[in-house]
Amino acid sequence: MNFNTSVIEQNRFKDIDFLIKRDDLLHPDFSGNKARKFAWFLKEKFPDIKRVISYGSSQSNAMYSLSVLAKMRGWEFDYYVDHISSFLKQNPHGNYLFALKNDMNIFEKPFPKELPQNSLFIHEGGRQKEAAYGIKILAKEIKEQLKDNERVDVFLPSGTGTTALFLQKYLPYKVYTTPCVGSETYLKDQFSLLESDESLYPVILNSKKRYHFGKLYSEFFKIWIELKEQTGIEFDLLYDPKGWLTLLENIDIFENRILYIHQGGILGNISMIKRYERKIDEHNR
């Protein structure tokens, strides 16, 4: 199966004229950078594989995307988590609910040291060399779609950094990113697991304030609402607010029009919005 190409649109936010690659619109069930990162596993023949095994958090976008991949391929999907909150067990929602609907088998324990036969193991968040395949296609689309050979500065927020790293490898433009999951050092360590040549790494930008992944910040929710109002686009609530805040803080360093990569993850917003609303309720009580 092949995806359609996603469009590049022009938009404006806080007086900044920018371009945006709409990878959130790639496919209704399998979108964003996880579709790119897992494209190889959709395309390759795996005659002996019957099961895909991974691990991570109980609301992860990668978890949901793997449940879609497994369903499309007719594989079992075993997913290992440290912990599922009792609230989530009693009120399944978001990525967790939709992955369960795709028949995910979820286990609250460490993943087995010995993998069962005929299984495919995927690292947390899809940090895999195989991701290069789909991200190379993304880079090719971008090069073909930019009109009049416009030069751009590419920006995207990182988790494992896999998408940013491979985009920098395959694009003739500078790629800028910011770490959302850990520190700059963590992000560089992630890059080094996939690429030893540091000259091929994206430029890492930081925000003045340190943020912790998955925590709620009023400025995150605020910028997410402003983005929706001014651009008409729904961004993700885990990565994009840190991305946009960092981009605005560092706006002076960009030399060309920015091409922002929308990496999907909208399904994950359901649980994040619920958490923000509960926080606002508590605050107003």
Ligand X SMILES: *Cc1c(COP(=O)(O)O)cnc(C)c1O
- Return residues touching ligand X (CB under 6 A): 32-34, 61-62, 125, 157-164, 236, 239, 263-265
The residues, ordered by sequence, that sit 6+ positions from 39 with a Cβ below 8 Å of its Cβ are 3, 133, 134, 137
Report, in Å, the least distance between residue 157 CB and ligand X. 6
Q: Whole-number minimum distance, CB 76 to ligand X, in Å?
A: 23
Tell me whether residue 8 or residue 61 sits nearer to ligand X (CB atom). Answer: 61
How many Cβ atoms from other residues are within 10 Å of residue 65's Cβ? Answer: 26
243: left (phi over 0), alpha (psi -120 to 50) or beta: alpha
Instruction: Give the strands of the sheet with 119-121, arranged side by side.
Output: 105-107, 76-80, 51-55, 119-121
8 or 33: CB nearest ligand X: 33
Nearest to 265 by CA among 128, 18, 103, 62: 62
Nearer to ligand X, 8 or 31 (CB): 31
Strand partners, 8: 21
CB of 164 to ligand X, least distance (A): 6
Closer of 57 and 160 to ligand X (Cβ): 160
Q: Compare residues 184 and 284 and give the one whose CB is closer to ligand X.
A: 184
Q: Find the shortest distance in angstroms from Cβ 247 to ligand X.
A: 14
Q: How far is the CB of 78 from ligand X (least distance, A)?
A: 20
CA–CA distances in Å: residue 155 to residues 7, 129, 148, 173 = 16, 21, 20, 10
- What residues pair up with 119 in beta bridges, in sequence order? 51
Residues 229-264 as b or e (16 or more Cβ within 10 Å = b): eebebebbbbbbbbbbbbbeebeeebeeebbbbbbb
DSSP label of 6 = P
Rounded CA separation 26/3 (Å) = 7
List residues bridging with 21 in a β-sheet: 8, 261
Q: How far is the CB of 196 from ligand X (least distance, A)?
A: 18
Q: Which is nearer to ligand X, 118 or 206 (CB)?
A: 206
Q: Cβ 268 to ligand X, closest distance in Å?
A: 7
Comparing CB distances to ligand X, the nearer of 13 and 38 is: 38
- Name the closest residue to ligand X (Cβ): 265
